């Protein structure tokens, strides 16, 4: 009974694939008619399949997505679908042309086995096979290499050749990557040429870089251009037309509304990690000694939405800064904490007189305290803190040290982003005159609308009342709509009909160049 059941299933599978196993199959008819060659009418699917399986096993070891390609052909009875559909109409020749021309994207045609595909097309086109079985190895290899090249070329242009999240430790932007379903759909495409045309990057930024790349003879310039073309190929989250971008190498924040700039300003970003960081980190892992711990204050790359503004913010001082800076300052100067408006907490309770703490009793790697800097003029965050969800405790903020904005290299912060024009930025975010005046008064500034002067007078009266202790506290304000924020990294981009270049402040170009080695 079991044998009978197996036999029935085999018959059903055979019938479902009859279009492939009929004699001659479609590939035999197509080639016989195209070449006016009767040998293809003797096309033996079983014999071809044996050659195909062997060829697939030999070639797929070097594929990027071997499982997807194998699954596609397994689902289609190992039929030579690419040759059947796209050889006679010339689309395989077009594919070879696109592969050869991949140099315009800074890619090396060799990574697609372009010469081999072209050679196989020529062999098939010469129509010199005496027997049909002589054609099987050529057809199988042409089929498999064409499908693999098409898939890789399409993925590289749509998503980039590398996944930045795999090579950069602080790259938290969830770039979209190709999945097996989308790749299977690509392989089942009805037109290779339509797909190849569709995947060509069309943004003005990419085209500007591409034009400069093709027009340059300077190897270093071409390297930088190709790296940034790759960055523009990465599939970023949808920001919409209205979004804020912080470009780290440019040390600048720009708010875009379609092609218009809403506001632009200088920023200070996190300092570069120490030279020899990786080796020093290994040494620290072995010793556990904080003196061996290398510094890394690089601002992470991320995507989020600014959802609130805090006026008169409190700074929750990170443990790393407490250990590396606050601890030593407090030991050196017993009044440093109170003079800097820094409160100290032990097990969640405020210590009334932090100046009396005997720091000699505590090692900095096991500090039992938490530190918070209160609101006010001396606060390191200045008067405003711009908040967005992220896992790195990063935010945009004002600063009490404005001199940093005069520097050429503004990679000087502990990781957060200091903005040059916080008040103007807050006004644009709030986009509401009434709420903006409330925010101004909260930081002791006159309201723009004189009808709101009562708010200001009442606040000043409270501060002047010597009988009551006025305490400056944070106040929260919410934009009407959260605004997308992208903290990114471009060292070259087109602007005003020329290419702008910026220093590779975090040495990310260098790392990306190494990762792209086998593709260039």
435's tokens: 């709420």
**Phi and psi of 225, rounded to 5°?**
-65, -45
Q: How far is CA 474 from the centre of its chain?
A: 34
**Sequential DSSP letters for 39-95:** GGGG--HHHHHHHHHHHHHHHGGG-SSHHHHHHHHHHTTT--HHHHHHTTTTHHHHH
Using DSSP's 3-state secondary structure scheme, residue 490 falls into coil
Q: Which has the closest alpha carbon to 192: 160, 138, 151, 235?
A: 151
Catalytic residue among 297, 397, 414, 452: 397
Contacts of 6 (CB under 8 A, 6+ apart): none
The β-bridge partners of 397 are 385, 418
Q: Is the peptide bond before 24 cis (omega within 30 degrees of 0)?
A: yes
Rg of the chain, C-alpha, whole Å: 32
- Whether a cis peptide bond, with omega within 30° of 0, leads into 472 is no
Provide the H-helix boundaries in 378-488.
422-430, 433-442, 453-464
> How far is Cα 56 from Cα 47, in angstroms, rounded to an integer?
15
CB atoms within 10 A of CB 292: 14
Q: Which residue of the set 105, 268, 297, 416 is catalytic?
A: 416
Neighbours of 106 (CB within 10 A): 23
Helix (H) or strand (E) holding 385: strand 384-388
Distance of alpha carbon 372 from alpha carbon 123, whole angstroms: 75
Active site residue 397: yes
The residue among 497, 469, 307, 483 whose CA lies nearest residue 387 is: 307
Q: What are phi and psi of 272, to 5 degrees?
A: -65, 145
User: Tokens 């304000």 identify what position?
Assistant: 477
Contact 93, 196 (CB under 8 A): no
Q: What is the SS3 assignment for 366?
A: helix
Beta carbons within 8 Å of 114's beta carbon, 6+ residues apart: 96, 99, 100, 102, 149
Q: Report CA-CA distances (Å) from 517 to 65, 107, 178, 450.
A: 19, 10, 21, 63
**Residue 246 and residue 417: Cα distance in Å, rounded?**
9
The verdict on whether 297 is a catalytic residue reads: no
Q: Are 499 and 210 in contact (CB under 8 A)?
A: no
Residues annotated as catalytic (active site), given as ranges: 397, 416
């Amino acid at each position: 009974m079991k044998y009978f059941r197996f036999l029935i299933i085999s018959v059903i599978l055979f019938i479902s694939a009859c279009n492939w196993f009929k004699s001659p199959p479609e590939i035999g008819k197509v080639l016989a008619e195209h070449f006016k060659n009767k040998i293809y009418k003797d096309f033996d699917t079983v014999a071809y399949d044996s050659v195909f399986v062997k060829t697939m096993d030999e070639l797929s070891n070097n594929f990027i997505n071997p499982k997807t390609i194998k699954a596609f052909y397994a689902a289609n009875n190992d039929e030579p679908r690419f040759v059947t559909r796209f050889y006679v109409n010339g689309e395989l020749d077009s594919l070879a042309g696109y592969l050869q021309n991949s140099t315009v994207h800074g890619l090396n045609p060799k990574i697609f086995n372009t010469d081999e595909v072209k050679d196989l097309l020529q062999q098939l086109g010469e129509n010199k096979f005496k027997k049909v079985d002589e054609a099987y190895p050529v057809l199988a290899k042409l089929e498999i290499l064409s499908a693999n090249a098409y898939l890789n070329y399409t993925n590289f242009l749509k998503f980039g050749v590398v996944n930045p999240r795999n090579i950069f430790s602080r790259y938290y932007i969830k770039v979209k990557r190709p999945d097996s379903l989308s790749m299977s759909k690509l392989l089942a495409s009805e037109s290779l040429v339509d797909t190849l045309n569709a995947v060509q990057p069309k943004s003005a930024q990419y085209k500007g870089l591409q034009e400069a790349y093709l027009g340059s003879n300077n190897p270093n310039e071409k390297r930088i251009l190709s790296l940034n073309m790759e960055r523009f190929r990465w599939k970023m989250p949808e920001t919409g037309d209205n979004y804020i971008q912080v470009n780290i190498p440019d040390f600048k924040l720009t708010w875009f509304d379609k092609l218009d700039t809403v506001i632009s300003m200088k920023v200070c970003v996190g300092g570069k990690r120490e030279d020899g960081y990786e080796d020093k980190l290994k040494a620290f892992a072995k010793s556990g000694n904080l003196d061996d711990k290398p510094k890394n204050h690089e601002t992470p790359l991320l995507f989020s939405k600014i959802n609130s503004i805090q006026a008169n913010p409190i700074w929750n001082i990170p443990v790393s800064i407490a250990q590396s800076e606050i601890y030593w300052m407090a030991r050196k100067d017993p009044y440093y904490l109170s003079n800097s408006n820094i409160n100290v907490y032990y097990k969640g309770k405020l210590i009334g007189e932090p100046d009396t703490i005997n720091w000699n009793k505590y090692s900095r790697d096991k500090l039992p305290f938490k530190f918070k800097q209160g609101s006010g003029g001396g606060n390191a965050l200045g008067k405003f803190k711009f908040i967005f969800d992220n896992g790195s405790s990063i935010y945009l903020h004002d600063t009490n040290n404005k001199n940093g904005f005069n520097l050429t290299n503004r990679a000087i912060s502990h990781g957060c982003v200091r903005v040059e024009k916080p008040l103007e930025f807050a006004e644009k975010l709030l986009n509401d005159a009434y709420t903006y005046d409330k925010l101004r008064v909260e930081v002791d500034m006159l309201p723009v609308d004189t009808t709101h002067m009562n708010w200001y007078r009442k606040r000043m009266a409270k501060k002047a009342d010597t009988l009551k202790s006025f305490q400056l506290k944070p106040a929260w304000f919410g934009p009407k709509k959260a605004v997308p924020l992208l903290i990114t990294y471009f060292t070259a981009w087109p602007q005003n009909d020329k290419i702008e270049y910026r220093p590779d402040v975090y040495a990310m170009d260098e790392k990306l160049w190494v990762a792209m080695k086998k593709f260039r």
